[in-house]
Amino acid sequence: MAFSRAEAFAPATVANLGVGFDIMGLALQGMGDRAIVEFQDASEIVISEIQGDGGKLPLDPALNIAAVSARALLDHVDEPRGLKIRLIKGLPLSSGLGSSAASAVVSVVALNKLLGEPFAREQLLPFCLEGEALVSGYHADNVAPCLLGGIILVAGTTVDAIQPLPIPERFHLALVTPDVPVPTDSARKILPKHITLKTMIHQTGAVAKLVDALHRGDLGALGAAIENDRVVEPARACLMPMHKEARAAAKQAGAAAVFIGGAGPTLCAICESAAIAKATASAMQAVYQAANTACIAQATGVDRCGAVLLNAD
């Protein structure tokens, strides 16, 4: 059956999980982006509307992540028709919640449906990366979990480098996103250019412990591994307002670990129950409210599905 219009949803994500810089990410339940993609006879791609971005995202298809990703897929299959894309942003920009990845993924998943689904979901990864590269470079720590769901180990940019990891049974999350944008390029520039061999050994050991803890479902060991970063989070903490205070509040509420979501400023806490996650979200929110800093806080979990089609006609 041929379709001329498809709508898709792509979830929020958080990358790194503390020590897993650029090689780990997970998808989040709840928030995400939607896109409505339609064929048009003209060969160009048109961004007809963007909602929820405050007018900050470009309508120029050469500069828009959703359009660049869709163009990569159109060119790959030699499709002569163009597209009209309507993007509904449910994710704040520069928040550490994978906003750029969601824009890339949601347009490609919808377009794949219009094309008759010639590609399995994981095969869409290279096209999504073309758009993500506009702002974050060629790494899939957000794109892969957004596309596929779950907790993902990302050892490269090809399909065979993507490995799903176990999701512990008692794995809940509390998030707080202060209203202080942290662009990814700024967060990358602040990172150290060189580290010692001793630090490298420490980091790889912590990543190994993180993966082991996920397989065993040991939240205590998982939290210890996540918070054992000696490279990325120490460098970026200065970009996160009230970082120490929010971490302390989360721990007092019962969180097993707190880490910076992606480039930040979102802080993520791992909790062993929905009740603790809710209390932790409230505790972190109170820290920012006391400092007169606007923020969004929520309790959530891992989205196991990733991007989904909503409808097609």
Report the half-sphere exposure of 215 (CA within 13 A, side-chain side): 9
Q: H helices of 217-258, where? A: 219-226, 232-236, 243-252
Burial class for 74, CB neighbours closer than 10 Å (0-12, 13-18, 19+): buried
Q: Distance between CA atoms of 17 and 40, rounded to whole angstroms?
A: 41
The identity of residue 312, as a single letter, is A
Report the 10 Å Cβ neighbour count for 63. 12
Nearby residues of 158 by Cβ (< 8 Å), 6 or more positions away: 125, 126
Cα angle value 179/184/186 (rounded, 5°): 90
Report the half-sphere exposure of 272 (CA within 13 A, side-chain side): 11
Assign 140 to helix, strand or coil.
coil
Cα angle value 246/283/93 (rounded, 5°): 60
**DSSP one-letter code for 172:** E
Residues tagged active-site: 132, 184
pLDDT of residue 222: 96
Report the half-sphere exposure of 157 (CA within 13 A, side-chain side): 11
Q: Tell me the pLDDT of the chain (313 aa) as tens digits.
A: 677 899 999 999 999 999 999 999 999 999 999 999 999 988 999 999 999 988 889 999 999 999 999 999 999 999 999 999 999 999 988 888 999 999 999 999 999 999 999 999 999 999 999 998 887 777 899 999 999 999 999 998 888 999 999 999 999 999 999 998 877 778 888 899 999 999 999 999 999 999 999 999 999 999 999 999 999 999 888 888 899 999 999 999 999 999 999 888 999 999 999 999 999 999 999 999 999 999 999 999 999 999 999 988 8
Pairing of strands 151-154, 162-165: antiparallel
Greatest distance between any 2 Cα atoms in the chain: 59
Please count the residues of the chain. Answer: 313
pTM: 0.94
Domains of the chain, CATH where assigned: 5-166+306-310 (3.30.230.10), 172-300 (3.30.70.890)
Contact predicate 167/151, CB 8 Å: yes
pLDDT of residue 93: 86
Nearby residues of 212 by Cβ (< 8 Å), 6 or more positions away: 221
Q: Distance between CA atoms of 35 and 29, rounded to whole angstroms?
A: 18
Torsion, Cα 222 224 229 232, to 10 degrees, reads: 60
Query: Any idea which residue has 């806080």 for tokens?
Result: 297
Q: What is the CA 310 to chain-centroid distance, rounded? A: 20
Contact predicate 27/165, CB 8 Å: no
For residue 202, the surrounding DSSP H or E stretch is helix 197-216
For residue 270, the surrounding DSSP H or E stretch is strand 267-271
The identity of residue 138, as a single letter, is Y
Q: Distance between CA atoms of 139 and 100, rounded to whole angstroms?
A: 12
Pairing of strands 82-88, 45-51: parallel
Among 271, 301, 267, residue whose Cα is nearest residue 96 = 267
pLDDT of residue 1: 60
